[in-house]
């Protein structure tokens, strides 16, 4: 993974882990272009950040990150 891609992932997750972003989302395509989902999952585990994959109303796949676990309601 390129340093620039690692920095992008690290910055996003650090903002979530620090509480600056309570919950934040990024397009899966952006994550795949910057190191991939495996790199994101590894970095999230290291920081105690929870991830969930969602699909928006236009069918776009998103990854949401939060300090708190996500819960599926139904």
Q: What is the pLDDT of residues 55-66, one digit of tens each?
A: 999 999 999 999
**Residue 44: what pLDDT?**
97
Distance of CA 66 to the CA centre of its chain: 8
**Residue 1: what pLDDT?**
79
Cβ–Cβ < 8 Å for 65, 16:
yes
Angle between helices 36-47 and 3-18 (to 10 degrees): 40
Write out pLDDT tens, residues 1-49: 789 999 999 999 999 999 999 999 999 999 999 999 999 999 999 999 9
**Residue 40: what pLDDT?**
97
**Structural domains in the chain?**
3-66 (3.30.1370)
Tokens representing 66 are: 């939060």
What's the predicted TM-score (pTM) here? 0.90
Distance of CA 49 to the CA centre of its chain: 8
């Amino acid at each position: 993974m390129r340093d620039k891609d690692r920095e992008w992932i690290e910055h996003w997750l650090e903002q979530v882990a620090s509480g600056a972003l309570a919950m934040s989302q990024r397009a899966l395509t952006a994550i795949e272009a910057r190191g991939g989902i495996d790199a994101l999952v590894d970095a999230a585990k290291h920081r105690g950040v929870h991830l969930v994959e969602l699909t928006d109303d236009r069918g776009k796949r998103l990854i949401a990150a939060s300090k708190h676990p996500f819960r599926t309601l139904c």
